[in-house]
């Protein structure tokens, strides 16, 4: 695996340390968990949806936590009161924690659970002060 020298980026750009750290961590060969499976959709220019397969989990067993530029989705199965004897158990009953890095100004709008799929809708809301604007020239 190649190592990239990001020091020129630090010399000519200010405030991009988070981007450089993300590139550095992505270049490491870390095994990402594959459970539960998920999709990330682009719904519009600034609208996204994460759809996660969480069959067997109830609303009470799922938590969604958004903080700064991070989204964490956790599932924790509650222990069952009655003991069941399975001949075959193909539906996973293990807990999980999945983290997503969010870009600046991306906010979670809503989440719903439908037919074993958890949908988390996100929107990028750029503040007015950061949007491009036309500057009038005085006479």
Q: Report yes or no on 7 lying in a domain.
A: yes
The pLDDT value recorded for residue 114 is: 92
Q: Report yes or no on 136 lying in a domain.
A: no
The pLDDT value recorded for residue 53 is: 92
How many other CB atoms are found less than 10 A from the CB of residue 84? 6
Tell me the residue range of the domain where 24 lies: 1-30
For residues 18 and 45, state if they share a domain. Answer: no
How many other CB atoms are found less than 10 A from the CB of residue 117? 15
For residues 8 and 75, state if they share a domain. Answer: no
The pLDDT value recorded for residue 31 is: 62
For residues 43 and 26, state if they share a domain. Answer: no
The pLDDT value recorded for residue 110 is: 93
For residues 82 and 122, state if they share a domain. Answer: yes
Residue-wise DSSP of the chain:
------HHHHHH-SS-HHHHHHHHHHHS-PPPP--S-EEEEEEETTEEEEEEE-TT--GGGEEEEEETTEEEEEE-PPPPSS----S---S----EEEEEE--TTEEEEEEEEETTEEEEEEEE---GGGS--PPPPP-
The pLDDT value recorded for residue 74 is: 94
For residues 79 and 125, state if they share a domain. Answer: yes
The pLDDT value recorded for residue 65 is: 94
The pLDDT value recorded for residue 17 is: 58
For residues 42 and 81, state if they share a domain. Answer: yes
- Digit-by-digit pLDDT tens for the chain (139 residues) are 556 665 665 555 555 556 666 666 666 655 667 788 999 998 888 889 999 999 888 899 999 999 888 899 999 987 776 777 888 877 767 889 998 888 888 889 999 999 989 999 999 887 777 777 788 888 7
The pLDDT value recorded for residue 30 is: 58
For residues 86 and 49, state if they share a domain. Answer: yes
For residues 40 and 14, state if they share a domain. Answer: no
The pTM of the full predicted model, rounded to 2 decimals, is 0.68
For residues 25 and 93, state if they share a domain. Answer: no
Q: How many structural domains comprise the chain?
A: 2
Q: Report yes or no on 137 lying in a domain.
A: no
């Amino acid at each position: 695996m190649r190592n990239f020298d990001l020091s020129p980026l630090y010399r000519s750009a200010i405030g991009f340390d988070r981007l450089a750290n993300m590139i550095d961590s992505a270049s490491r060969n870390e095994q990402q968990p594959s459970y539960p499976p998920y999709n990330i959709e682009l719904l519009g220019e600034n609208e996204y949806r994460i759809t996660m397969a969480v069959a067997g989990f109830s609303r009470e067993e799922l938590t969604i936590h958004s903080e700064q530029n991070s989204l964490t989705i956790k599932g924790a199965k509650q222990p069952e009161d009655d003991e069941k004897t399975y001949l075959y158990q193909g539906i996973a009953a293990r807990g999980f924690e999945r983290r997503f890095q969010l870009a600046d100004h991306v906010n979670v709008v809503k989440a719903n659970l439908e037919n074993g799929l958890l949908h988390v809708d996100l929107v990028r809301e750029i503040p007015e002060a950061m949007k491009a604007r036309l500057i009038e020239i005085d006479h």
